[in-house]
Structure 1
Amino acid sequence: MSATEELAGRLRGTVLPAVLTPMDADGAVDYTALRRYAERVAAERIGGVAVWAHTGRGLYLSAGDRRRVLEVWRDAVDVPVVAGAGVPRALRGAPLQDAEDAAVAMAAEAAELGADAVMVYPMARHHALPDATERAVRLHERAAEASGLPVLGFFLHGEAGGYPYSPELIRRLLALPSAAGIKIATLDRAVDCQDAVRAAEGSGALVVTGEDRMFGPSLMWGADTALVGIAAARVGLTTAVLDTWNAGDAAGFLRASGRLDRFAEATFRAPIEGYVQRMLWAAVWEGAVPEEAAFDPYGPPLPHAERRAVVTCLERLAKEDDTAR
């Protein structure tokens, strides 16, 4: 069994939170808060964690912070660590070749720091090129070669900087020996999600849902694993949906999916880039992140009513839990 097949076997049917990066009001990473948060997440029943992902503002971190963040998570968990590999914010205007080289370098860096796999961010600039598919495939090949790690493709919606992967591209990516699977995060585009799942059918690779707003449906369409930002806080809400689905518990799945949908409705809404701040507020509510480390300097400003909506949702879900006991 190859390392890629072994990793896929470990992750299949599990939840990997796309974890937060606690920061202060000036955008400095709070490492004391990060360690406590990592210990809290590590105590949950998870299959792995995703660092340097969009939820953790991985492409916004300095090189030094990026290294320290991964080191904290590697020390805190005994499950696979999947690291995002993409173009740092400082290089977004760089020539395309330089941008691709930076993503490959990030994959190699992740391997040096002990990551178990890399998740290659989509490069939106590829989308308009006549050789878009070839360039995307080659980027994934280079990331695998530089890191020596299994690779996840990452079909990410445009609001977060991605672009739609064609079924042909998905099939080409999953045919690579290094391909552990494809992560699908289309936000609210059901047809795109379904098409991506269908393109992955028969590959034997992981079909990883990143569909925070279509989590339950994405499982019904064929996803078998979850790597989601909504699990950055209240992990149990997410794992309950996947567990009941895997168990064939239809009634339990409907209940768990409905509860998660209510939380998603309060956190993954317009402006969608505000979801990171909303998840930080949720993490504060559950005691996983302190107030002084719950700032997202890279998202839009949100009114207090947004926080009240998140907290009210969590309070109602908690009251239901108490009633059910």
Structure 2
Amino acid sequence: MSTPEELAGRLRGTVLPAVLTPMDASGAVALPALRRYAERIAAERIGGVAVWAHTGRGLYLTAADRRRVLALWRETVDVPVVAGAGVPRALRGASLEDAEDAAVSMAAEAAELGADAVMVYPMARHHGLTDAVERAVRLHERVAEASGLPVLGFFLHAEAGGYPYSPELVRRLLDLPSAAGIKIATLDRAVDCQDAIRAAERGRALVVTGEDRMFGPSLMWGADTALVGIAAARAGLTTAVLDAWTAGDAAGFLRASGRLDRFAEATFHAPIEGYVQRMLWAAVWEGAIPEEAAFDPYGPPPSDAERRAVVTCLERLAKEDDTAA
């Protein structure tokens, strides 16, 4: 088991796809398709994977499916596995105390199944409470105590069930001995993203971008690692941007960032919850997930026009690759 500092050192400068969970038309997890997809992701040049994250519909999965999903990823990859810990959708009507307990229990379960770190979903019901900061800090302390694992905080935009973390809360979370870093996913709120990154620049801790739609800018503002849903289907496209930035290759960064931004434009737009289905379509086009396992039963109804836009973007990017070769 790694210390927070060891884990941060291993992950810094790498991409961690927030991986998809293949499901059939009935919403059942398609385990054979998941294994094939996991093998495909494992072959990419990645620093780790994030399971039970929003892209993989982690809070919607049954407890049994969560266990199967994490166990399969643990068997398949030899990189760190970061597991989301939050309140399962089935318990969203529970009291705040029971909801906090559920998040802690999920973290402990992840540790038992072999996760290397835990990423704590924001407890949206903390937002607006007079003791919100103290409750959030205590939740992260409890997660660390129950799991024994390094912990990532998770500043998540409201459209995905989060709320804006204040700079004070970001600093308090990173002062915890268990803190490996913080993931920032504000969607399109540039000032919130910049403020959080500034508050998170602590030296030892990871500053993890989850900004699929502001990926390049978030690196320029100070993020040093990436945990993003957009890498669930196009890990190489994402890695190229981070590599160019890290290498100080300005021309390469501009080119790679522009390509990734075009893909993000086709996949991350209103309704934003539709991005999971759009990433599944991209994974089908890539040959990573079969058509019969590319359903997201929890997002908005998909449209043929949206799928055509995703496929058209991928075809154009592929044509550019062929031309460059």
TM class by shorter chain equals over 0.9
Match of 1:248 in 2: 248
In 1, are the aligned partners of 2:207 and 2:223 still within 8 Å (CA)? yes
The offset of 1:303, in angstroms, is: 1.2
Match of 1:18 in 2: 18
Measure, in 2, the Cα distance between the counterparts of 1:58 and 1:201: 29
In 1, are the aligned partners of 2:2 and 2:116 still within 8 Å (CA)? no
Query: What amino acid is the match of 2:319?
Result: K
In 2, are the aligned partners of 1:174 and 1:203 still within 8 Å (CA)? no
Match of 2:64 in 1: 64
Query: What amino acid is the match of 2:297?
Result: P
Match of 2:187 in 1: 187
Query: What amino acid is the match of 2:18?
Result: A
- Equivalent residue runs for 1:229-240 within 5 Å: 229-240=229-240
Query: What amino acid is the match of 1:10?
Result: R
Match of 1:147 in 2: 147
- Equivalent residue runs for 1:105-184 within 5 Å: 105-184=105-184
| TM-score normalised by length of structure 1 | 0.99
Write the deviation string for residues 147-194 of structure 1: whole angstroms up to 9, x where unpaired: 000000000000000000000000000000000000000000000000
Write the deviation string for residues 250-295 of structure 1: whole angstroms up to 9, x where unpaired: 0000000000000000000000000000000000000000000000
Measure, in 1, the Cα distance between the counterparts of 2:127 and 2:18: 25
Unaligned stretches of 5+ in structure 2?
A: none
Match of 1:224 in 2: 224
Measure, in 2, the Cα distance between the counterparts of 1:118 and 1:16: 13
Measure, in 2, the Cα distance between the counterparts of 1:19 and 1:302: 20
Does the residue aligned with 1:28 lie in a helix, a strand or coil? coil
1:51 aligns with 2:51: yes
Over 4 Å off, 4+ runs: none
In 1, are the aligned partners of 2:181 and 2:207 still within 8 Å (CA)? yes
Superposition CA RMSD, Å: 0.9
In 1, are the aligned partners of 2:170 and 2:200 still within 8 Å (CA)? yes
Measure, in 2, the Cα distance between the counterparts of 1:260 and 1:176: 34
Specify whether residues 2 and 39 from structure 1 end up closer, same or farther in structure 2 by C-alpha distance, changes over 3 A only: closer
Query: What amino acid is the match of 2:155?
Result: F
The offset of 1:202, in angstroms, is: 2.8
Does the residue aligned with 2:154 lie in a helix, a strand or coil? strand
Percent identity over the alignment is 89
In 2, are the aligned partners of 1:175 and 1:203 still within 8 Å (CA)? no
Query: What amino acid is the match of 1:261?
Result: D
Write the deviation string for residues 89-144 of structure 1: whole angstroms up to 9, x where unpaired: 00001000000000000000000000000000000000011000000000000000
| TM-score normalised by length of structure 2 | 0.99
Does the residue aligned with 1:58 lie in a helix, a strand or coil? coil
Measure, in 2, the Cα distance between the counterparts of 1:223 and 1:39: 28
Query: What amino acid is the match of 2:81?
Result: V
